[in-house]
């Protein structure tokens, strides 16, 4: 025994290192279990949380004891058995609560969970100090204890923070290192705060556990808990590898393209998401939709469409790199997954690679068809912490892009949800808008380009929303088509336009747009017939406008309906000509009375040589088939002159008149009178115009 009245402890360095190592290994295994808990749900999650807590708790407990055993108090000493047991319970319970809180989704959840663990670890140290009896009195330094507290709480919060908010793949190891570091730090600060005064008179109770016995118990417990924890981890890893193999087998299930199917995709998503969680990787989900595929199918038939899909799938598969996965959802929709370290730009690059395979035209029945793909993607867990939302977000992004323009690559962002919500609200408002009298028709005059005389008007629907005011058909017609409200709305438009025309408020023929959904109804011709009877309008004054894809979705039926309408004396115009897969065959097959040349070509006249060439071709086509052409969107005198010179029969556009309400129509008609050329008609190509009729 030394002579000094008080002294600090001395250390067995090797045991301190061992304590750190035990803590490091134990918490590393614990953190792996914790990562699995975060990636799973329900009872599996509870099981993993329990394993994580027992493993980490036991490791912390053992490390604390080994480091105490590393101290040589140079006095007789021993441990209270109850305190020893209580410490283990405290360690495990605080880890359990800490991990449970740490794996939740509220803002500071990881840090809060870490604090709980820190409190537990501190409590364990203080119980240890109380339960450790030496033949003397121990006094504590207040500053040292405060320091111990701060280190304990701060470092444990940091540990769970690192495990839950990884920024690099090394963070998961960082969590274990921080915890091990904390246990060592706590131990040293606490011991450094203590001084012992030997007391020769003190006798230790006989029931204390002597250090060597405790050492054997600790080593035994450590081996048992960590061994079982580690083997659980290895078994889990193995079974996951097996399930990855199973996914691989399940994969080739789409008979046509040979790509994995939707089920395989879901399995792969679950697997990759768990992996991403654990390794702090990013997982990007993609929704890929081939634009205009439906038109190809309608125009060339299903067999040709299938061949095109096979070719597209083949091309896309050809550009996949490791860690990337492609599946076919259905029809022309494909799904993708990409596991990437920490580079969100990888996802964009993947999408660009996929988009690029569509740059080369596809050969369909010896015709080159150029297609594009609309791609949306969302990155997990950056864009959403929920694995299941990754795909729906990607789809939302894809649809959002597609609605703006074909062939776009769009990344999901939060506001899209808000927009989707607003859209749904608008769709709800649209229900019953007809009954509430919120719909109205505006009319746009149509003019003969030859002499500037008015020959008719097109009815264009408007929606007066009670809160938002006037809404454009470009916004609400697609919504109405999705919700099928268009049927009722379209019928209302037909009836109102016929009534207005019959009452003599519209000059010449009145043109009404028909939606594809109206065209699908078997009773379309009968409905129109009834409306004509009801309003008393002569069928000769009614024209219906359909787009190419409307008719082509079911050619035989489409032809049948058009013939019926024509036999009633109603004329049929092909709207937006030039934007679909306008082919000669369509014009030959259907008895159209008018071709409405889309405004996208007219807009570029007369300077744009390519647009001018297309317009000339369409006009020549109309002439040779004997179908007059009406040019849409004429805005300038120069466009009018060009079109008239090239023999275009009719026109419609802001130059002559903007769409107007019924009340303003007389003024518009009067204003359009200034274009009439009585004595000196526009220059035109007489033979062509004569042929066009």
- Name the residues that contact ligand C2E, by CB under 6 A: 444, 460-461, 472-474, 477, 490, 493, 513-515, 545, 575-576, 599, 632-635, 652-654, 659
Q: Which of the listed partners (Mg ion, ligand C2E, none) does 490 bind, with a CB threshold of 5 to 8 Å by partner kind?
A: ligand C2E
Q: Which stretch binds Mg ion (CB under 5 A): 1-9, 260-268, 398-406, 630-638?
A: 630-638
Widest distance between CA atoms in the chain? 134
Q: What are phi and psi of 549, to 5 degrees?
A: -65, -30
Q: In 449-563, which ranges are E strands?
A: 454-465, 469-471, 509-513, 542-547
- b/e code 218-235 from CB counts within 10 Å (16+ = b): beebbeebbeebbebbee
Per the CB < 8 A criterion, the answer to whether 118 and 157 are in contact is yes
Q: Which of the listed partners (Mg ion, ligand C2E, none) does 472 bind, with a CB threshold of 5 to 8 Å by partner kind?
A: ligand C2E
Question: From the CB of 680, what's the least distance to Mg ion, in Å?
Answer: 30
Count of CB atoms within 10 A of residue 461's CB?
23
- b/e code 29-59 from CB counts within 10 Å (16+ = b): bbbbbbbbbbbbeeeebeebbbbbbbbbbbb
Q: Which of 148, 338, 434, 513 binds Mg ion (CB under 5 A)?
A: 513
Q: Which of the listed partners (ligand C2E, Mg ion, none) does 473 bind, with a CB threshold of 5 to 8 Å by partner kind?
A: ligand C2E
**For residues 563-582, which are near Mg ion according to CB under 5 A?**
575-576
Q: Which of the listed partners (ligand C2E, Mg ion, none) does 537 bind, with a CB threshold of 5 to 8 Å by partner kind?
A: none
Pick between residue 84 and residue 513 the one whose CB is nearest to Mg ion: 513
Q: Which of 272, 278, 298, 545 binds Mg ion (CB under 5 A)?
A: 545
Number of residues this chain uses to bind Mg ion (CB under 5 A) = 5
Question: From the CB of 392, what's the least distance to ligand C2E, in Å?
Answer: 29
Per the CB < 8 A criterion, the answer to whether 562 and 523 are in contact is no
632 given a catalytic annotation: yes
Pick between residue 342 and residue 472 the one whose CB is nearest to ligand C2E: 472
Question: From the CB of 574, what's the least distance to Mg ion, in Å?
Answer: 10
Residues 6+ apart with CB under 8 A from 571: 509, 540, 542, 543, 544, 593, 594
Q: Which stretch binds Mg ion (CB under 5 A): 288-296, 333-341, 425-433, 540-548?
A: 540-548
Per the CB < 8 A criterion, the answer to whether 353 and 319 are in contact is yes
Question: From the CB of 517, what's the least distance to ligand C2E, in Å?
Answer: 8
Q: Which of the listed partners (Mg ion, ligand C2E, none) does 531 bind, with a CB threshold of 5 to 8 Å by partner kind?
A: none
Question: From the CB of 372, what's the least distance to ligand C2E, in Å?
Answer: 22
Pick between residue 313 and residue 477 the one whose CB is nearest to Mg ion: 477
What does 641-654 look like in DSSP terms, one character per residue? Answer: HHHHHTT--EE-ST
Question: From the CB of 557, what's the least distance to ligand C2E, in Å?
Answer: 18
Per the CB < 8 A criterion, the answer to whether 545 and 596 are in contact is yes
- Name the nearest CA neighbour of 640 among 628, 627, 656, 626: 656
The single residue listed with the structure tokens 């125009």 is 299
Pick between residue 20 and residue 578 the one whose CB is nearest to ligand C2E: 578
Q: Which stretch binds Mg ion (CB under 5 A): 142-150, 172-180, 182-190, 626-634?
A: 626-634
Pick between residue 349 and residue 470 the one whose CB is nearest to ligand C2E: 470
Catalytic residue among 632, 637, 646, 679: 632
Per the CB < 8 A criterion, the answer to whether 81 and 30 are in contact is no
Report how far residue 95's alpha carbon sits from residue 620's, in angstroms, rounded to the nearest whole number.
82
Pick between residue 222 and residue 486 the one whose CB is nearest to ligand C2E: 486
Q: Are strands 333-340 and 362-364 parallel, antiparallel or unpaired?
A: unpaired
Q: Which of the listed partners (Mg ion, ligand C2E, none) does 260 bind, with a CB threshold of 5 to 8 Å by partner kind?
A: none
Residues 6+ apart with CB under 8 A from 544: 511, 512, 513, 514, 528, 565, 570, 571, 572, 573
Pick between residue 410 and residue 599 the one whose CB is nearest to ligand C2E: 599
Question: From the CB of 366, what's the least distance to ligand C2E, in Å?
Answer: 32
- Count the alpha carbons within 13 Å of 343 in the hemisphere toward its beta carbon: 8
**For residues 641-680, which are near Mg ion according to CB under 5 A?**
none
The single residue listed with the structure tokens 């959840």 is 109
Q: What is residue 10's three-state secondary structure? A: strand
For residue 606, say if its preceding peptide bond is cis, omega within 30 degrees of 0: yes
Question: From the CB of 583, what's the least distance to ligand C2E, in Å?
Answer: 20
Pick between residue 68 and residue 574 the one whose CB is nearest to ligand C2E: 574
- What the block records as the tokens of 34 is 């914790």
Q: What is residue 358's three-state secondary structure? A: coil
- Name the nearest CA neighbour of 689 among 625, 618, 623, 640: 623
Question: From the CB of 682, what's the least distance to ligand C2E, in Å?
Answer: 18
Helix (H) or strand (E) holding 448: strand 439-448
Question: From the CB of 566, what's the least distance to ligand C2E, in Å?
Answer: 20
Q: Which stretch binds Mg ion (CB under 5 A): 185-193, 488-496, 544-552, 613-621?
A: 544-552
Q: Which of the listed partners (Mg ion, ligand C2E, none) does 500 bind, with a CB threshold of 5 to 8 Å by partner kind?
A: none
Pick between residue 332 and residue 575 the one whose CB is nearest to Mg ion: 575
Pick between residue 364 and residue 514 the one whose CB is nearest to ligand C2E: 514
Report the catalytic residues.
632
Interface contacts to Mg ion, rule CB under 5 A: 513, 545, 575-576, 632
């Amino acid at each position: 025994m030394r002579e000094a009245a008080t002294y600090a402890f001395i250390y067995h360095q090797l045991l301190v290192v061992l304590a750190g190592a035990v803590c490091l290994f134990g918490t590393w295994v614990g953190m792996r279990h914790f990562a699995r808990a975060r990636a799973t749900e329900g009872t599996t999650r509870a099981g993993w949380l329990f394993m994580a807590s027992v493993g980490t708790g036991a490791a912390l407990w053992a490390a604390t004891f080994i480091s105490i055993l590393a101290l040589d108090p140079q006095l007789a000493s021993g441990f209270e058995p109850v305190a020893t047991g209580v410490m283990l319970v405290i360690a495990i319970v605080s880890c359990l609560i800490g991990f449970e809180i740490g794996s939740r989704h509220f803002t500071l959840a990881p840090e809060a969970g870490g604090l709980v663990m820190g409190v537990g670890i501190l409590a364990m140290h203080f119980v240890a100090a109380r339960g450790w009896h030496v033949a003397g009195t121990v006094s504590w330094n207040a500053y040292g204890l405060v320091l111990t507290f701060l280190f304990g709480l701060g470092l444990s919060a940091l540990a769970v923070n690192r495990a839950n908010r990884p920024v690099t793949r090394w963070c998961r190891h960082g969590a274990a290192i921080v915890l091990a570091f904390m246990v060592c730090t706590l131990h040293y600060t606490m011991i450094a705060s203590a001084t012992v005064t030997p007391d020769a008179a003190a006798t230790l109770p006989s029931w204390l556990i002597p250090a060597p016995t405790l050492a054997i118990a600790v080593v035994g417990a450590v081996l048992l808990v960590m061994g079982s924890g580690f083997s659980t981890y290895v078994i889990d890893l193995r079974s996951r590898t097996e399930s990855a193999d199973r996914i691989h087998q399940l994969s080739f299930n789409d008979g046509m393209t040979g790509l994995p199917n939707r089920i395989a995709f879901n399995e792969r998503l679950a697997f990759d998401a768990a992996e991403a969680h654990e390794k702090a990787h990013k997982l990007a989900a993609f929704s890929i939709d081939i634009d205009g595929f439906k038109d190809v199918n309608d125009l060339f038939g299903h067999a040709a469409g299938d061949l095109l899909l096979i070719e597209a799938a083949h091309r896309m598969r050809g550009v996949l790199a490791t860690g990337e996965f492609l599946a076919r959802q259905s029809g022309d929709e494909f799904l993708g997954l990409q596991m990437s370290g920490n580079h969100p730009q990888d996802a964009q690059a993947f999408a660009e690679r996929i988009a690029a395979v569509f740059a080369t035209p596809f050969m369909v029945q010896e015709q080159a068809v150029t297609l594009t793909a609309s791609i949306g993607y969302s990155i997990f867990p950056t864009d959403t912490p929920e694995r299941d939302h990754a795909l729906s977000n990607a789809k939302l992004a894809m649809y959002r892009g597609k609605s703006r323009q074909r062939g776009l690559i769009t990344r999901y962002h939060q506001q899209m949800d808000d927009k989707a919500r607003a859209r749904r609200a608008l769709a709800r408002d649209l229900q019953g808008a007809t009954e509430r009298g919120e719909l109205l028709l505006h009319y746009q005059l149509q003019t003969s380009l030859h002499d500037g005389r008015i020959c008719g008007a097109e009815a264009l629907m408007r929606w007066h929303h009670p809160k938002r005011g006037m809404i454009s058909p470009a916004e609400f017609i697609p919504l109405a088509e999705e919700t099928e409200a268009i049927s009722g709305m379209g019928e209302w438009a037909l009836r109102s336009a016929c009534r207005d025309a019959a009452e003599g408020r519209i000059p010449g023929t009145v043109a009404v747009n028909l939606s594809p959904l109206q065209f699908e109804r078997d009773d379309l011709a009968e409905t129109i017939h009834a409306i004509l009877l009801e309003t008393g309008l002569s069928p000769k004054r009614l024209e219906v406008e359909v787009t190419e894809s409307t008719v082509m979705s079911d050619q035989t039926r489409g032809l049948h309906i058009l013939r019926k309408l024509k036999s009633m004396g109603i004329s049929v115009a092909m709207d937006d000509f030039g934007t679909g897969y306008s082919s000669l065959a369509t014009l030959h097959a259907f008895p159209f009375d008018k071709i409405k040349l889309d405004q996208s070509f007219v807009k570029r006249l007369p300077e744009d040589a390519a647009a001018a060439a297309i317009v000339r071709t369409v006009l020549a086509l109309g002439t040779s088939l004997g179908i007059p052409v009406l040019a849409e969107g004429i805005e300038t005198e120069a466009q009018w002159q060009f079109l008239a010179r090239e023999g275009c029969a009719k026109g419609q556009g802001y130059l002559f008149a903007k769409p107007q309400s019924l009340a303003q129509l007389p003024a518009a008609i009067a204003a359009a009178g200034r274009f009439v050329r009585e004595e000196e008609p526009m220059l035109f190509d007489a033979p062509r115009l004569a042929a066009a009729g």
